[in-house]
Structure 1
Amino acid sequence: MSSALISPLLRYEDVCISFGAGRREKFAVSHLNLEIGVGERVALVGESGSGKTLTALAPLRLEPEGAKVTGRILWNANQSSASVDLVGLPMQDIRDIRGREIAMVFQEPMTALNPLFTVGNQIVEAVQVYQPLISKADSMSAAIELLKKTGIVQPEKRFHSYPHQLSGGQRQRAMIAMALACKPRLLIADEPTTALDVSLRLQILDLLKELQAESQGDGGMAILLITHDLNMVKHFAQRVAVLNQGNLMEVGSTKQIFEHPSDPYTKSLVNSKPVREIAPVMPLAPVLLKADQLSVSYPDAESSTWFQKQARNLVLRKVGFELKQGQTIGVIGESGSGKTTLGMAVLGLLGDSAARITGQVNVLGDDWQQLKPVERRMLRSSLQVIFQDPFGSLSPRMNVMQIVSEGLDIHFPGLSPTERESRVLDMLREVGIDRTALQRYPHEFSGGQRQRIAIARALILKPQILVLDEPTSALDVSIQKQVLALLAELQKKYNLAYLLISHDLAVIRAMSHEVMVLKEGRVVEFGDTETLISDPRQIYTKELFAAAELV
């Protein structure tokens, strides 16, 4: 679809978004000029701090407190008589546009959804905004129909569920249902699939396309997609706008941007793919971590009654593997396949929950289940974890010195303050963080820098095994490439063993010696990475890899 033939619906004219005043004024978005056409799918891409989310929030006047927006954001830009400038519009009029004409799907549905109300009631509220005279029964029926349309199984049942009772994919679908309740002419989707696995990403993108095709009105619903996932952009967008540090670098058709980018920044962004630079595993490398017939189950609250014993839901089913020194085993599978449960079981972090664990997990030859608490605590320095969200896993109340040295205080309490600081500085230097960071707090760093601090915190105890739980999924593609290169370099230097949990096939391919494919808690395939990816045998694995190639 040629942009010249599209009637503009939303137009940014010389839009600037800044914080502060006078000499301290900092521009997050500078002189942005961009159009979104009626019925068009436009992707706004760029790294963290590029101004993507601020650009998306500005039309709805949801920018953070203290932000100053100048320029014009024209709504109904194709109709001069009906065109309005959203920047200067009174808030009462903006509220009339929110949801009714412009709706938004936020990145994290667990944060955006109210935990105190059922999903159905929240959608009903949105339906009643669009149709204030509708009866309660009809609004409930409309909400259930929206849940059904977005692909949620048993919508009548899920109508009465609270957000925490739904999976990540279901919550995101519920958010989309709520956004579509008012039949908006523009849907702004801010990183709508970041926390989802590859098959769910593909489903959500296809769902948005289908709902756009079904939308009625002059030309159909337009979609502005905010993302840093370039594979997703290829699959979804008709036109791409590239932002870098608040500046619009270039705009063009998806094909043009990916095949013939003109700006150097866009070229570097398009070419930021993980590179496979792992060392081979030594033939006689010792086994550091071993799972044998490992099963994990939880009580099934929905099936329990007063008259029968509570049933249990098997999350992990007789999983077995051996992780050798210097080796990486990648674990891939859909949401609910048991990936995170496997990681938590290996780390010994399920013992105090309602989980029932059978089978064995051996760490450096010792069985986790048989160890006394004191013995397990001593062994923990050899087995560390790096979590998905570097901001959520770092305490906002502690500075970098306190965060990185916390493990030393527990496992090496005899160190003097000078020795402790020396070890922290050496470790920060290893991961590329300057000593000036010691007294700074997590919020003062970028996502990539926070993840480097998390890596330093884990490695300062000189572990032999690291569990990497989606270590780069929250990062931009170029930062992701840097962090993966760092992890590969550290593995070679210290002969580390990695259990890498990820839904990103590119990350698995770049980092793993072997791949374990999980489905409903079972291992359906296990083997050499290159062999398994190029020639998967199971239908489930083929579908999973095919979806990963598309998004």
Structure 2
Amino acid sequence: MNTLLRYEDLSISFGTGRREKFAVSHLDLEIGVGERVALVGESGSGKTLTALAPLRLEPEGAKMTGRIWWSGQEDAQQQSATQPVDLLSLPIERIRRIRGREIAMVFQEPMTALNPLFTVGNQIVEAVQIYEPLISKADCFAAAVDLLRKTGIPEPEKRFHSYPHQLSGGQRQRAMIAMALACKPRLLIADEPTTALDVSLRLQILDLLKALQEESKDHGGMGILLITHDLNLVKHFAHRVAVLNQGNLVEVGATKRVFEHPENPYTQTLVNSEPVRDLAPVMPLAPVLLQADNLSVSYPSLDSESWFKKAPRHSVLKKIGFGLKQGQTIGVIGESGSGKTTLGMAILGLLSDSAAEVTGSVDVLGHDWQKLTSAERRKLRASLQVIFQDPFGSLSPRMTVMQIIVEGLDIHFPKLSSAEREQRVLDILREVGIDRSALTRYPHEFSGGQRQRIAIARALILRPQILVLDEPTSALDVSIQKQILALLTELQKKYNLAYLMISHDLAVIRAMSHEIMVLKGGKMVEFGETETLIKHPKQTYTKELFEAAEIT
């Protein structure tokens, strides 16, 4: 196999002298023509920096040493491969000609990477015109539509004129892949291309990359470097796996060998980081703490209204009903747009200030949530708390840990003395495994797992009975995810908490849930005991979800 890209003794550091810190240390790795290599490791291991280095997109202040040999360029006259060049020694003007044309990149978050002011079609056309300025507008349009069609976007001629916000998450990711492949690159670097997608969409995106790689054989073959923390996808996609730990390459090998016989202790930890099911059974006479009946949510339709007819409302949640008991976890699953997050927000009463119309009833601890005044709801909020997906986004960057956690006590328990409030904060930090030295620090000074522990502490200090968990581990690495899930399980057993857990990670749902609710298009299509539902799903949609996640 011919080598496309080869890292030779690559080191990336920040700072100078005694303050110099190495994010990547003496990395040696190669990607061959037509090969798929996955680079895995926890946050901060150096994966993204390694991916950005060949395109010279490293952050300001980064110092790179070593060599990155590129063999993918072709001689313009001979149409044959030329001698390898060291990308770190090339002038930036030459690197700009390599970007997109020879090495393309798919970034993690398409909403950030795509320009919101231009249609996706025009952004693809722009990529083509930069490298083929003589091509006509009609040919550019045809090429862009063909790429959208190849990447599986429905009605590509229509979607050409759509803006990024008008596409679903999966469609935006496909559009970005189309843009990256517009110039038929020899190497595609995909940095967490499936993180924000549902499990079925993840497999679709990777199947798409495989198909496009197969098509690339007509023009020399394309290599793929995949950056991900989803080990299940790596098993199905990569020929080889490279494992990074704190900037050091600790293991490289064929995918099957690494997963079945990992040699490095860190790799063994990663491979064995699947969530563990360790739930306490729900007591037979446990009271129902949260009851929803015929819960529906709708928004104003985007269709225009006429003088004679009012536009119909768009329903996103349709007649949902369930009861959540003390000490029980109900897992909510479904694809993007199925209504999972809307259900959580409706339960929490956080849709009242939007254009949403909420009908039906939500009973919280015997009180009809929809009929309560704002003051009455505020009193109940201590008993009904939420833990959000992104701990960094949900924690104020201008407040210390002490201020973040004590804020709820100031509102709901104003009669507590300063000493009592501080003691409660220290007690809850101990519960979630955070040292008291964290009190005066700010959220940016902590890792993702530590920030999520702080978010859990903020919710638990009010001694709630019900917690809504909205994707509480999706932003975390697999090993940290396992720790947080174990913590949530331990806290549920200790305080008999009721959880409504929303997630697209079916392994997490299986480990944490007593019962599972399956949503599709805003409707509940199936509901039942976890293991029974997984082994004997009644609906084809449910079966497809589980098969995509390989948990049947």
Normalised-by-shorter TM-score class: over 0.9
Residue 239 to residue 219, structure 1, CA distance change in 2 (3 Å): farther
Q: Does 1:96 align with 2:91?
A: no
Residue 159 of structure 2 aligns to which amino acid in structure 1?
A: R
- Give the aligned partner of residue 76 of structure 2: none
Residue 357 to residue 188, structure 1, CA distance change in 2 (3 Å): same
Instruction: Write the distance in 2 (CA, Å) between the matches of 1:209 and 1:157.
Output: 26
- Give the aligned partner of residue 363 of structure 1: 364
Shift, 1:416, TM fit:
3.0
Instruction: Write the distance in 1 (CA, Å) between the matches of 2:49 and 2:490.
Output: 36
Q: TM-score, normalised by structure 2?
A: 0.96
CA contact (8 A) 1:235 1:550 kept: no
Shift, 1:426, TM fit:
1.2
- Give the aligned partner of residue 522 of structure 1: 523
Moved more, 291-300 or 154-163: 154-163
- Give the aligned partner of residue 9 of structure 2: 14
- Give the aligned partner of residue 546 of structure 1: 547
Shift, 1:140, TM fit:
2.2
Instruction: Write the distance in 1 (CA, Å) between the matches of 2:335 and 2:482.
Output: 23
Shift, 1:305, TM fit:
4.9
Shift, 1:160, TM fit:
2.0
- Give the aligned partner of residue 421 of structure 2: 420
- Give the aligned partner of residue 394 of structure 1: 395
Q: Does 1:299 align with 2:294?
A: no
Shift, 1:32, TM fit:
0.2
CA contact (8 A) 2:72 2:102 kept: no
CA contact (8 A) 1:232 1:550 kept: no
Instruction: Write the distance in 1 (CA, Å) between the matches of 2:195 and 2:308.
Output: 43
Shift, 1:365, TM fit:
1.1
Give the secondary structure class of the aligned counterpart of 2:188.
strand
Give the secondary structure class of the aligned counterpart of 1:32.
strand
Instruction: Write the distance in 1 (CA, Å) between the matches of 2:386 and 2:185.
Output: 43
Instruction: Write the distance in 1 (CA, Å) between the matches of 2:134 and 2:300.
Output: 44
Instruction: Write the distance in 2 (CA, Å) between the matches of 1:315 and 1:21.
Output: 54
Give the secondary structure class of the aligned counterpart of 2:184.
coil
Give the secondary structure class of the aligned counterpart of 1:340.
helix
One of 67, 92, 103 as aligned partner of 1:72: 67
CA contact (8 A) 1:297 1:313 kept: yes
Give the secondary structure class of the aligned counterpart of 1:262.
coil
Shift, 1:158, TM fit:
2.0
- Give the aligned partner of residue 189 of structure 1: 190
Residue 445 to residue 89, structure 1, CA distance change in 2 (3 Å): same
Q: TM-score, normalised by structure 1?
A: 0.97
Instruction: Write the distance in 1 (CA, Å) between the matches of 2:153 and 2:410.
Output: 48
Give the secondary structure class of the aligned counterpart of 2:382.
helix
Shift, 1:218, TM fit:
5.5
Task: Please list the CA deviations of residues 41-95 of structure 1 after superposition, one character each: whole Å capped at 9, or x if unmatched.
Answer: 0000001111101100111111111111100001117999431111121111111
Give the secondary structure class of the aligned counterpart of 1:147.
helix
Give the secondary structure class of the aligned counterpart of 1:398.
coil
- Give the aligned partner of residue 38 of structure 1: 33
CA contact (8 A) 2:320 2:524 kept: yes
Q: Does 1:48 align with 2:43?
A: yes
Residue 443 of structure 2 aligns to which amino acid in structure 1?
A: P
Residue 38 of structure 1 aligns to which amino acid in structure 2?
A: V
Shift, 1:474, TM fit:
1.1
- Give the aligned partner of residue 22 of structure 2: 27
Matches within 5 A, 1:180-329: 180-217=181-218, 219-302=220-303, 304-305=305-306, 308-329=309-330
Task: Please list the CA deviations of residues 171-200 of structure 1 after superposition, one character each: whole Å capped at 9, or x if unmatched.
Answer: 111111111112111110111111111111
Shift, 1:439, TM fit:
1.4
CA contact (8 A) 1:516 1:525 kept: yes
Instruction: Write the distance in 2 (CA, Å) between the matches of 1:546 and 1:405.
Output: 44
Q: How many pairs were matched up?
A: 546
Shift, 1:304, TM fit:
4.3
Residue 505 of structure 1 aligns to which amino acid in structure 2?
A: L
Instruction: Write the distance in 1 (CA, Å) between the matches of 2:306 and 2:68.
Output: 57
Instruction: Write the distance in 2 (CA, Å) between the matches of 1:171 and 1:233.
Output: 22
Residue 336 of structure 2 aligns to which amino acid in structure 1?
A: S
Task: Please list the CA deviations of residues 149-171 of structure 1 after superposition, one character each: whole Å capped at 9, or x if unmatched.
Answer: 11111222222222222211111
Shift, 1:250, TM fit:
0.9
Residue 234 of structure 2 aligns to which amino acid in structure 1?
A: V
Residue 18 of structure 1 aligns to which amino acid in structure 2?
A: S
Moved more, 146-155 or 493-502: 146-155
- Give the aligned partner of residue 77 of structure 2: none
Fraction of identical pairs, as percent = 81
Give the secondary structure class of the aligned counterpart of 2:441.
coil
Matches within 5 A, 1:414-493: 414-493=415-494
Instruction: Write the distance in 1 (CA, Å) between the matches of 2:423 and 2:172.
Output: 46
Shift, 1:110, TM fit:
1.2
Residue 227 of structure 1 aligns to which amino acid in structure 2?
A: T
Give the secondary structure class of the aligned counterpart of 1:391.
helix
Task: Please list the CA deviations of residues 309-367 of structure 1 after superposition, one character each: whole Å capped at 9, or x if unmatched.
Answer: 11221111111000000000000111111111111111111111111111111111111
CA contact (8 A) 1:291 1:320 kept: yes
CA contact (8 A) 1:231 1:550 kept: no
Instruction: Write the distance in 1 (CA, Å) between the matches of 2:417 and 2:549.
Output: 49
Matches within 5 A, 1:315-354: 315-354=316-355
Instruction: Write the distance in 1 (CA, Å) between the matches of 2:28 and 2:461.
Output: 47
Instruction: Write the distance in 1 (CA, Å) between the matches of 2:193 and 2:443.
Output: 25
Instruction: Write the distance in 2 (CA, Å) between the matches of 1:138 and 1:407.
Output: 60
Shift, 1:481, TM fit:
0.5
Instruction: Write the distance in 1 (CA, Å) between the matches of 2:100 and 2:306.
Output: 42
Shift, 1:415, TM fit:
2.9
Shift, 1:219, TM fit:
4.2
Moved more, 34-43 or 401-410: 401-410
Instruction: Write the distance in 2 (CA, Å) between the matches of 1:550 and 1:225.
Output: 23
Residue 306 to residue 50, structure 1, CA distance change in 2 (3 Å): farther
Instruction: Write the distance in 2 (CA, Å) between the matches of 1:111 and 1:458.
Output: 30
Instruction: Write the distance in 1 (CA, Å) between the matches of 2:389 and 2:383.
Output: 20
Instruction: Write the distance in 2 (CA, Å) between the matches of 1:77 and 1:187.
Output: 11
Residue 68 of structure 1 aligns to which amino acid in structure 2?
A: K
CA contact (8 A) 2:534 2:551 kept: no
Instruction: Write the distance in 1 (CA, Å) between the matches of 2:282 and 2:551.
Output: 31
Moved more, 340-349 or 118-127: 118-127
Task: Please list the CA deviations of residues 242-289 of structure 1 after superposition, one character each: whole Å capped at 9, or x if unmatched.
Answer: 110100011111111011111111111111111001100011111111
- Give the aligned partner of residue 58 of structure 2: 63
Shift, 1:420, TM fit:
2.1
Q: Does 1:501 align with 2:496?
A: no
CA contact (8 A) 1:12 1:74 kept: yes
Shift, 1:302, TM fit:
3.7
Instruction: Write the distance in 2 (CA, Å) between the matches of 1:160 and 1:399.
Output: 46
Shift, 1:414, TM fit:
3.0
Residue 144 to residue 303, structure 1, CA distance change in 2 (3 Å): farther
Task: Please list the CA deviations of residues 94-126 of structure 1 after superposition, one character each: whole Å capped at 9, or x if unmatched.
Answer: 111111111111111111112222222212211
Residue 351 of structure 1 aligns to which amino acid in structure 2?
A: S
Q: Can you give the 5+ residue segments of structure 1 that lack an aligned partner in the other structure?
A: 1-5
Shift, 1:409, TM fit:
2.1
Instruction: Write the distance in 1 (CA, Å) between the matches of 2:494 and 2:16.
Output: 48
Instruction: Write the distance in 1 (CA, Å) between the matches of 2:305 and 2:38.
Output: 47
